Structure 1
Amino acid sequence: MAGRAGAVIRGLGLLLLFLLELAVLVVGARWGWAVHGNLALRLLAAVAVPAVLATLWGVFGSPKARVVLRAPAKQAFQAAWFVAGGGMLALLGRPLLGLALVLVWAVTVTLLRLSGRPA
């Protein structure tokens, strides 16, 4: 029974990480929209920022990344990804929400690693 409960908890942790990854993309769009400029520039930034973030994640950060990084480099990339999301939230005037994003990610990754499942 403990094995099944552990699998469920790991599954929930991975789901939470996925939702946090999506949250960073949404934050990127919101941050892009906040760029000072005319409507066209704001719209371009709101589309381009999450597109660049998604491309970077697909190339370096995802479990099926195109560029296979060694564990320390991949962990550093993922940390930078979530810190960037937190930083964008802080720049949008939501520093506590940004801190919460980073802390929830860090705790989730730590628990997954302690459970024997790399994140």
Structure 2
Amino acid sequence: MITILQAANLGLRFLLELCLLASLSYWGFHTDRGLLLKIVLGIGTPLLTAFIWGMFLSPKASVAIALPFLLALEAALFTVAVLALYATGKHSLAVLLGAVYVLNRLLMWVWEQ
């Protein structure tokens, strides 16, 4: 039973990563600036985040960093995503994303994933 829950937690982790990128894209496309800036932010912000995630945070990251820095960078990216959702008026989604991230990270720590 615990193996199924651990696998579900890893699946949730992947969905959280997608939500991170989607929230940044949503924020970028919903800024109050011109169309060109909306396009740059809506596409560029998630691309930059995906690049950072791939370089430092993914399981096969090309640059290994110490666990405290890894956790801090990960928390910073999710904090930015939560704030981006909050800034667009999606307060409930922002709180939900933050809460699910904290729960997921806690379970990953408990299960040493």
Fold conserved (TM > 0.5)? Answer: yes
The CA deviation at 1:52 is: 0.7
Structure-1 separation of matches of 2:13 and 2:81 = 13
Task: Give the structure with higher Rg (CA).
Answer: 1
Structure-1 separation of matches of 2:97 and 2:55 = 22
- 8 A Cα contact 1:27 1:88, kept in partner: yes
Correspondence for 2:25 among 10, 20, 29: 29
Give runs of ≥4 in structure 1 deviating > 4 Å: none
Structural mapping, 1:75-94, within 5 Å = 75-94=71-90
Does residue 111 in structure 1 map to residue 91 in structure 2?
A: no
Instruction: Quote the RMSD (CA, aligned, Å).
Output: 1.3
Does residue 100 in structure 1 map to residue 112 in structure 2?
A: no
The CA deviation at 1:112 is: 2.3
Structure-2 separation of matches of 1:37 and 1:109 = 35
Q: Letter of the 1:65 partner, please give it.
A: A
| Percent pairwise identity | 29
- 8 A Cα contact 1:87 1:95, kept in partner: no
Q: TM-score, normalised by structure 1?
A: 0.87
Give structure 2 stretches of 5+ with no counterpart. none
Q: TM-score, normalised by structure 2?
A: 0.91
